[in-house]
Amino acid sequence: MQIDLKAWKAQLAELFRGIAQLIYPNTCAVCHEGLVPGEEVLCSSCLYDLPRTRAWLTTDNMVARQFWGRIPIELACSLFHFAKGSRYQHLLHLLKYAGRRDIGLYLGQQLGIELAQIADYSNISAIVPVPLHPKKQQIRGYNQSQAIAEGIALRTGWHIEPNVLIRQRFTQTQTHKNRDERMLNVANAFAIQQGEKLRGQHVLLVDDVITTGATLEQCAQTLLNSCQNIRISIASLAYSSGI
């Protein structure tokens, strides 16, 4: 079996960063400078420089266009641009692989602050996080999308429905797969239980990052097929324009 040395080194670096954050929790997750009273997760400078998409300001944006012709949605947005090599890239790695659930909660609040000010989002009534398979959630200890959803809920007042959409099939990671491979990987991976809870509601479907949109497309289609008179919008922390 061949080992991708570059990927292994990157994962090792993320592991050490995660350990450092656990040992020194009062440092910025981006620049690692000490946080002052009133700051959490990110220092004021790194929060200010976060490469926000501002996609919530218009219904015609790069995130929404990702789903045009694929799935009927109302709105779509992401908090910040995800770029390989960016100093903000490892925020998602810390969130998903290093136990930093607080990053999801904090950045979810930042997104919630923005959405709470936009009239187009005012009739959203429920948040549905993209689910993890129980085995993967047990390994990770939490669902990062639910942490993001909880952050959004804190700033908007929308309630969370974390158990309606479930992942019924364990899937491989989507990393390093192209769009067709990702679609095949998540085909029939999701199911609905107690779908009547979402009847007639405008639901915000939440994930950590949008790349090809394959996972969110499958989630949205599952909800549309099983929940009566439902409308769906989409939000994520990060948006990547390429795989």
191 SS3 class: strand
Going by pLDDT thresholds of 50, 70 and 90, the confidence category of residue 237 is very high
pTM metric for this prediction: 0.85
| Residue 160 CB contacts under 8 Å (≥ 6 apart), including other chains | 126, 127, 128, 129, 146, 149, 150, 153
Q: What are phi and psi of 193, to 5 degrees?
A: -130, 140
pLDDT of residue 241: 76
- Distance CA(156)–CA(143), nearest Å, equals 20
Q: Is the pLDDT of residue 24 over 60?
A: no
Q: Is the pLDDT of residue 84 over 80?
A: yes
Give the pLDDT confidence of 106-135 residue by residue, as tens digits: 999 999 999 999 999 999 999 999 999 888
Q: By percentage, how much of the chain surpasses pLDDT 90?
A: 70
182 neighbors 213 (Cβ within 8 angstroms): no
Q: Is the pLDDT of residue 20 over 60?
A: no
Give the pLDDT confidence of 142-153 residue by residue, as tens digits: 999 999 999 999
> Which residues are 237's β-sheet partners?
none
| Residue 59 CB contacts under 8 Å (≥ 6 apart), including other chains | 75, 120
Of 44-48, 86-90, 181-185, 210-214, the poorest mean pLDDT is in 181-185
Average pLDDT over residues 182-194: 73
The CATH topology of domain 51-239 is: Rossmann fold (3.40.50)
228 SS3 class: coil
Of 18-22, 82-86, 206-210, 239-243, the poorest mean pLDDT is in 18-22
Helix (H) or strand (E) holding 17: helix 5-23
